[in-house]
Amino acid sequence: MADVRRASAPASGHEVRARHEFRGMRTVEHYFTVPLDHAEPAGEAITVFAREYVSAAHTPEAAAQLPWLLFLQGGPGGRGNRWGSLGGWSKAAAQDFRILMLDQRGTGLSTPLDRNTLPGRGTAAEQAAFLEHFRADSIVADAELIRHALGSPAWTVYGQSYGGFCALTYLSFAPEGLQEVLITGGLAPLSGSADDVYRATYQRVAARNDEYFAWYPEDRATVERIARHLRSTSEFMPDGSPLTVGRFQMAGAFLGGNTRVDSLHYLLEDAFVETSGVPRLSDTFLEQLQGVVSRRSNPLYALMHESIYGQDQATNWSAWRILGENPWFRPDAEPLLLTGEMVYPWYFEQDPALEPLREVADLLAAKQDWKPLYDPRVLAANTVPAAAAVYTDDIYVDRDLSLRTAAAVNGLQVWETADFHHDGIADDGERIFARLLGMARSGGRRPPA
């Protein structure tokens, strides 16, 4: 794994390029030079970008004295949020913190990874070896270098979804860099295989389908109509790639949302248009669906998603294999169910942004010697104040697996709620953030169990 403790010296480069002030906030753009492989700090270097957000209610002099809060975004492969103004959890946090929004390595303005840049690394095997440095351990090592470069003492880390997975890695290998940790929808299983994850999430996605179609029974017929249409008629996405039933099922991504779930209904109501008496899928529908089925903007998600569960064993396309135990999710099943965030090998055949990366994806799926991302002994002796929101019906991060992890982290306080789904902080982030921060601070630093 990345040698986080060797990241005690400042990053080899830190450049501030632009500052802006608008709509009640100030931003600063930071570029850091970090090692590709933290075990070889003198080797190849990459760039990691982060944007600082500060409330304009603080004078520049007062803002410079505020403690840092590092936000770790969901993913893998998701760049940091780009805010036009402070709102929700960021508005609450900006009262007391400078927020550092990280573009995790390989995303956003950090050294990019996609179908254009990856082949430049060489063969598929060389590309796969390169990608081994883009997991949570390396992200945490980057964060520690950045913290030192900013001159920050131990800071607050807030992790959403995959960002919460990274926060657990941080607690495992660099707890001295942490003042407190907040996690929403992101308590990763500390052991076991990816198969355990998908067995649980397939069940939750099926239940969420049932719930959705109970709310919108008319959409049941629309989904079946779209499936029948795609089985008999060729339709193409705006990027020219085919729309298959399997790709249409990816619209189930909306099901993981608290308010986004209702947007699925708005997507489906635009599905068809009559053309001289012949129904076709509308451009409006296809344009909206494009953003759901394409990984053009975040190929790392498809490449690395199952690797976040890979520890000392291969994932071997786990979601695809466990689909065999859940045949009601097959594209030819009737009635058709929509899927969640599973990644299947055929994505790399039907998505033009992923086609050049199919061999690399297969190598990553077959990799058997993934390094551990967590240290259960350190977590059992944790003394960093930490609090996590666990969403009872989360279809992406299973509630039961989350609570098992929570029980293994000493002092971690849990707020379980059925009021939100996976994207809860987008719905009522201010309340969620305030509650978790209060929980962490009221718990104090506890001695090991």
Asked if residue 226 has pLDDT above 70, the reply is yes
pLDDT computed for residue 8 by the predictor: 46
369 is catalytic: yes
If you average pLDDT over residues 357-363, what whole number do you get?
Answer: 97
Asked if residue 9 has pLDDT above 90, the reply is no
User: What average pLDDT does the chain have?
Assistant: 94
Asked if residue 152 has pLDDT above 50, the reply is yes
Residue 385: count other Cβ atoms within 10 Å of its Cβ. 23
Asked if residue 447 has pLDDT above 70, the reply is no
pLDDT computed for residue 424 by the predictor: 94
Let me know if 213 is exposed, middle or buried by CB neighbors in 10 A (0-12, 13-18, 19+).
Answer: middle
pLDDT computed for residue 101 by the predictor: 98
If you average pLDDT over residues 280-291, what whole number do you get?
Answer: 97
If you average pLDDT over residues 439-445, what whole number do you get?
Answer: 80
Among 332, 369, 400, 442, the active-site one is: 369
pLDDT computed for residue 4 by the predictor: 59
Rounded Cα–Cα distance for residues 404 and 386 (Å):
16
pLDDT computed for residue 446 by the predictor: 41
| Reported CATH class of domain 4-190+374-443 | alpha beta
Summarised one tens digit per residue, pLDDT across range 291-309 is 999 999 999 999 999 999 9
If you average pLDDT over residues 74-81, what whole number do you get?
Answer: 94
133 is catalytic: no
Q: Both tokens of residue 104?
A: 């995790």
Q: Would you say 192 and 247 are in contact if contact means Cβ atoms under 8 Å apart?
A: no
pLDDT confidence tier of residue 2, bands split at 50, 70 and 90 = low
pLDDT computed for residue 443 by the predictor: 77
CA distances from 399 to 62, 288, 396, 406, 417 (A): 41, 30, 9, 10, 10
Q: Of 16, 20, 94, which Cα lies nearest the Cα of 49?
A: 16
pLDDT computed for residue 75 by the predictor: 92
Asked if residue 280 has pLDDT above 70, the reply is yes
pLDDT computed for residue 415 by the predictor: 98
pLDDT confidence tier of residue 310, bands split at 50, 70 and 90 = confident
If you average pLDDT over residues 122-132, what whole number do you get?
Answer: 97
Summarised one tens digit per residue, pLDDT across range 155-205 is 999 999 999 999 999 999 999 999 999 999 999 999 989 999 999 999 999
**Sign of the dihedral through C-alpha 155, 158, 91, 48:** positive
423 is catalytic: no
pLDDT confidence tier of residue 341, bands split at 50, 70 and 90 = confident
pLDDT computed for residue 336 by the predictor: 97
Q: Of 179, 133, 171, 131, which Cα lies nearest the Cα of 154?
A: 179
In total, the chain counts a number of residues equal to: 449
Give pairs for 334-338: CB < 8 Å, separation 24+. Answer: 334/224, 334/227, 335/220, 335/223, 335/224, 336/223, 336/224, 336/227, 336/245, 336/249, 337/205, 337/206, 337/209, 337/249, 337/252, 338/205, 338/209, 338/223, 338/249, 338/250, 338/251, 338/252, 338/255, 338/264
Among 110, 161, 307, 402, the active-site one is: 161
Q: Both tokens of residue 79?
A: 């760049």
pLDDT computed for residue 12 by the predictor: 60
Q: Where are the domains of the chain?
A: 4-190+374-443, 194-366
Q: Both tokens of residue 375?
A: 């240290």
Give me the percent of the chain exceeding a pLDDT of 90.
91
Summarised one tens digit per residue, pLDDT across range 384-429 is 999 999 999 999 999 999 999 999 999 999 999 999 999 999 999 9
Give me the percent of the chain exceeding a pLDDT of 70.
96
pLDDT computed for residue 311 by the predictor: 83
Rounded Cα–Cα distance for residues 144 and 155 (Å):
10
Summarised one tens digit per residue, pLDDT across range 19-53 is 999 999 999 999 999 999 999 999 999 999 999 99
If you average pLDDT over residues 206-217, what whole number do you get?
Answer: 97
